[in-house]
Amino acid sequence: MYKEKILIIEDDVQIQNFMVYTLENAGFLVESAFNGKEGISKLIKSNSDLILLDLGLPDMDGMEVLHRIREWSEIPIIIVSARDQDREKAEALDDGADDYLIKPFSATELMARIRVALRHYYRMSHSMVKDQPDDTVYVNGGIKLDNGAHIAYKDGNEIHLTPLEYQLLLLFMQNSGKVLTYHTILRKVWGEGYGEDTSVLRSVMASTRRKIENNPAKPEYIETEIGVGYRMKEYEPSKEVES
C-alpha cells in the first residue's frame, strides 16, 4: 500500500517529535528538517506529498521557504506557526499555503487539516487531467450542489440562488474544510482585477447564508475566519458523487 510522505520543516524539537509521532501512528512516512535550507534540499531529493512548515526558522523566514518552494512545486503546504496574526495568515494563504495551524494544536486537528489538504490536491490534479467541465454533484451535510444541472438543494429542497451566490457556494463546496481568504474568493468569484473591496463579498455571503444556514447568525456551514476569510465546515461522511 502506498504510504504518503510528509516533510516537516520545524526547528522546535518537541513540536517535531509530537508531529512525527502523530503522523507515523497514522501511517504516514515522515521526514524531518530543522531549518529552511535543509527542508528545501530534502524536498528536492525526495518525493514528499505534503509539507508542514514552521514560519520561525533559524536560517530563513518560513515565508521565504514558502515562496521558494512555490516557484517550482504545487505540493500542499500547511503552515504551523505560533504567530496568530490575521495579516500574516492571510498573506501565507494568498502566497500559496494551503492551510494554517496555530500552535498549540491537537493531533486530531493536525490530521483533519492534512486529510483535507491531500484530498484537495488529488482532486485538483485529477480535474486537470480530466480537462472537461465540472459536472460534479457536491454534497456536504444537508447541502447538495448539482453542478451539471446547476441546481442547489438544502435538506432535499431546491434553493434559488443568484449567479453570484451560486458561484460563491460552488467555490466553498469545492473547497470544503479549507480556509479561503477574501483575496482568493474575490479573485475566483469576481475575477482578476476586481480589487480588494470586501463589502460586496460580505453582502453576497450574508444573503447566501440566509438561504443555506438554519440560523445565519450562528452558521453551521460557512464559518467566518476573522480577519482572514471563511471556511466551509466539512461534514462526514462526505458522499461525493463522481461525475
Total residues at interface with Ca ion (CB under 5 A): 3
Three-state SS string across 152-200, please? Answer: EEECCEEECCCHHHHHHHHHHHHCCCCEEEHHHHHHHHHCCCCCCCCHH
By CB under 5 A, which span of 35-43, 55-63, 165-173, 227-235 interacts with Ca ion? 55-63
CA angle 43, 44, 45 (to 5 degrees): 95
Q: Which is nearer to Ca ion, 62 or 229 (CB)?
A: 62
Cβ 43 to Ca ion shortest distance, Å: 18
Using rule CB under 5 A, residue 54 touches Ca ion: yes
35/127 with CB nearer Ca ion: 35
From CA 165, how far away is CA 75, in angstroms rounded?
Answer: 30
| Residue 152 near residue 161, CB atoms below 8 Å | yes
Binding span for Ca ion by CB under 5 A among 47-55, 60-68, 158-166, 190-198: 47-55
Close Cβ partners of 205 (under 8 Å, ≥ 6 residues apart): 168, 222, 230
- Whole-number minimum distance, CB 82 to Ca ion, in Å? 7
234 interacts with Ca ion by CB under 5 A: no
Q: Interface with Ca ion includes 56 (CB under 5 A)?
A: yes
- Residue closer to Ca ion by CB (options 55, 145) is 55
User: What does the alpha-carbon distance between residue 26 and residue 225 come to, in Å, rounded to a whole number?
Assistant: 28
Pairing state between β 29-33 and 229-232: unpaired
| Minimum separation from the CB atom of position 184 to Ca ion (A) | 26
- Closest CB to Ca ion: residue number: 56
For Ca ion, which stretch binds (CB under 5 A), given 10-18, 111-119, 161-169, 191-199? 10-18
Taking CB under 5 A as the rule, does residue 11 contact Ca ion?
A: yes
Beta-carbon contacts of 188 under 8 Å, excluding residues fewer than 6 positions away, are 167, 171
- Measured from the Cβ of residue 1, the count of other Cβ atoms closer than 10 Å reads 3
**Grid cell at residue 47:** 518525493
- Cβ proximity to Ca ion: between 56 and 148 the closer is 56
Task: Indicate whether 38 belongs to the interface with Ca ion (CB under 5 A).
Answer: no
* Closer to Ca ion by Cβ: residue 54 or 99: 54
Q: Which residues bind Ca ion (CB under 5 A)?
A: 11, 54, 56
